[in-house]
Amino acid sequence: MNDNAHIDVVIVGGGLAGLTAAIHLSKKGIAVLVIEKNNYPKHKVCGEYVSNEILPYLQSLAIDPYRHGAKKISRFLLSTPNSKSIETQLPLGGFGISRYTLDYLLWQKARASGAQCVQDTVTDIQFVNNTFEIKTKNKQYQSKMAIGAYGKRSNLDSTLHRDFITKKSPFLAVKTHLKGDFPSDLVALHNFKGGYCGLSKTENDNINACYITNYKAFKPYKNIQNFQEKVLCKNRFLKEVFENSIAVFDKPLTISQVSFYTKKPVEQHILMCGDSAGMIHPLAGNGMSMAIRSGRLVSQLLIDYFSEKKATRATLEKKYKQQWNTAFKRRLKTGHIIASLFEMEYISEIMLMALKGFPSVLPKIIEQTHGKPLIIK
């Protein structure tokens, strides 16, 4: 595909949502261009536990995480800052795989499926005369349709004047890989004062430790090492892992301004997908599954749009908004409520005691923040 070649759909961002859509659409003969600012393979800040809800869909796209060493995860352990804990079987279960491997796998698959994938940064998108004009650092493109799959926060949110981008977020996140003992079939979520840390194993037997905290909690400790020792390690589960394992990375990866503000699934005719459309608290949901699921949703609607002679852009956008809200709005809301409750230490201790008394309730709560498995015919 050269610069002026025919493009049906430009996908901005080659993360999980964008690459899933690229594979799905290309397999149906739709001309797709993915523009991703980073080179792959690359580590990303993420908990790296993927819910099984999207496994049948990935397999239908000929992607099998287990062929790449993914760890099967069936148990969930939750603890409070005071190390009170509860464990349950996960209703659906999931798998552990690094973003380094998963995103690269999808990137290669998108290329093999016929999508054009370029490494460049999109700096502007304009909708003019029923066509998208996309500017990158190096080139310009035109396309009939545009998918925004550029993640939770990007330069483009400012360019598009999206409401949430002007609001500051108090959250920052840290991720590292560790070598040490940890059960392969477990995902753990350990709360500490001012945040929570997820632990699970990845395909290469590393323990992924990924935590979210807020600036107020972090600031007095000045650096990551100090914060981990003085705050995270007050939770005995985290202490055990951090003190008995060896860091794999030279230094942890960090991101700031992690925001969970409400967004719109369609913005200036761009169909937003994954975190660009809305992000769930990792404490109470599975953003990766939502991203992949939204990639499927947008692809199915675009395939219908391109195959129906009388289809209009207005109907497509209306359907996408409706179906996106049906699939994700309730999950986002439930996730938000649970995360807010866990921010209050005292409440989280009471909740955990209550859950211990009624152990069948926890799997039900988990179900509320997870989607039903996708059935692929």
Ligand X SMILES: Cc1cc2nc3c(=O)[nH]c(=O)nc-3n(C[C@H](O)[C@H](O)[C@H](O)COP(=O)(O)OP(=O)(O)OC[C@H]3O[C@@H](n4cnc5c(N)ncnc54)[C@H](O)[C@@H]3O)c2cc1C
- Binding segment for ligand X (CB under 6 A), chosen from 36-44, 61-69, 321-329, 351-359, is 36-44
Q: Does 12 bind ligand X (CB under 6 A)?
A: yes
* Interface segment toward ligand X; rule CB under 6 A; list 14-22, 60-68, 82-90, 261-269: 14-22
Tell me which stretch binds ligand X (CB under 6 A): 41-49, 67-75, 297-305, 348-356. 41-49
Amino acid at 371: G
Choose one: 69-77, 83-91, 149-157, 216-224; the region binding ligand X (CB under 6 A): 149-157
The least distance separating ligand X from the CB of residue 284, rounded to whole angstroms, comes to 11
Radius of gyration of the chain (CA): 21
Residue from 14, 252, 278, 371 binding ligand X (CB under 6 A): 14
Q: Considering the complex, what minimum distance in angstroms separates the CB of residue 153 from ligand X?
A: 8
Q: Tell me whether residue 233 or residue 255 sits nearer to ligand X (CB atom).
A: 255
Question: CB of residue 276 vs ligand X: minimum separation in angstroms?
Answer: 6
Number of residues near ligand X (by CB under 6 A): 40
258 lines the binding site for ligand X (CB under 6 A): yes
45 part of the interface to ligand X, by CB under 6 A: yes
Distance between CA atoms of residues 214 and 199, nearest Å: 19
- Does 16 help bind ligand X (rule: CB under 6 A)? yes
Q: Which residues 120-139 are close enough to bind ligand X by CB under 6 A?
A: 121-122
Q: Are 147 and 12 in contact (CB under 8 A)?
A: yes
9 binds ligand X (CB under 6 A): no
Q: How far is the CB of 342 from ligand X (least distance, A)?
A: 15
CB of 343 to ligand X, least distance (A): 15
Q: Is 274 in the site for ligand X (CB under 6 A)?
A: yes
* Neighbouring residues of 189: CB distance < 8 A, sequence distance ≥ 6: 76, 77, 78, 79, 196, 197, 198, 199, 283
35 binds ligand X (CB under 6 A): yes
DSSP element (H, E) containing 95: strand 85-96
Binding of ligand X by 173 (CB under 6 A): yes
Closest residue to bound ligand X by CB: 15
CA 153 to chain centre: 12
As measured in angstroms, the least distance from the Cβ of 46 to ligand X is 4
Q: Taking CB under 6 A as the criterion, which residues in 195-224 touch ligand X? A: 198, 210, 212
**Rounded least distance, CB 132 to ligand X, Å:** 14
Structure tokens at 78: 């939750």
CA-to-CA distance for 218 and 174, rounded, in angstroms?
11
Q: Nearer Cβ to ligand X, position 118 or 311? A: 118
CB closer to ligand X out of 93 and 349: 93
Task: For tokens 């807020």, name the residue.
Answer: 214
Q: Please report how many Cα atoms fall inside a 13 Å half-sphere around the Cα of residue 50, on the Cβ side.
A: 30
105 part of the interface to ligand X, by CB under 6 A:
no
d(CA 272, CA 249): 33
CB atoms under 10 Å from CB of 178, counted, come to 20
Residues 6 or more apart whose CB falls under 8 angstroms from that of 307 comprise none
SS (H, E, C) 145-177: EEEECCCCCCHHHHHCCCHHHHCCCCEEEEEEE
Rounded CA-CA distance 321/318 in Å is 5
Q: What's the rounded Cα separation, in Å, for the pair 230 and 217?
A: 11
Q: Give the list of residues 6+ apart from residue 182 with CB closer than 8 angstroms, or none.
A: 199, 200, 201, 207, 241, 245
Minimum CB distance to ligand X smaller for 36 or for 245: 36
75 binds ligand X (CB under 6 A): no
Q: Give the binding range for ligand X (CB under 6 A) out of 23-31, 232-240, 273-281, 343-351.
A: 273-281
153's tokens = 């926060």
Residue with tokens 């809305």: 278
For the chain, report the end-to-end CA distance as a whole number of angstroms.
32
Residues within the interface to ligand X (CB under 6 A): 12-18, 35-38, 45-50, 121-122, 149-151, 154-156, 173, 198, 210, 212, 258, 274-276, 279, 282, 286-289, 291
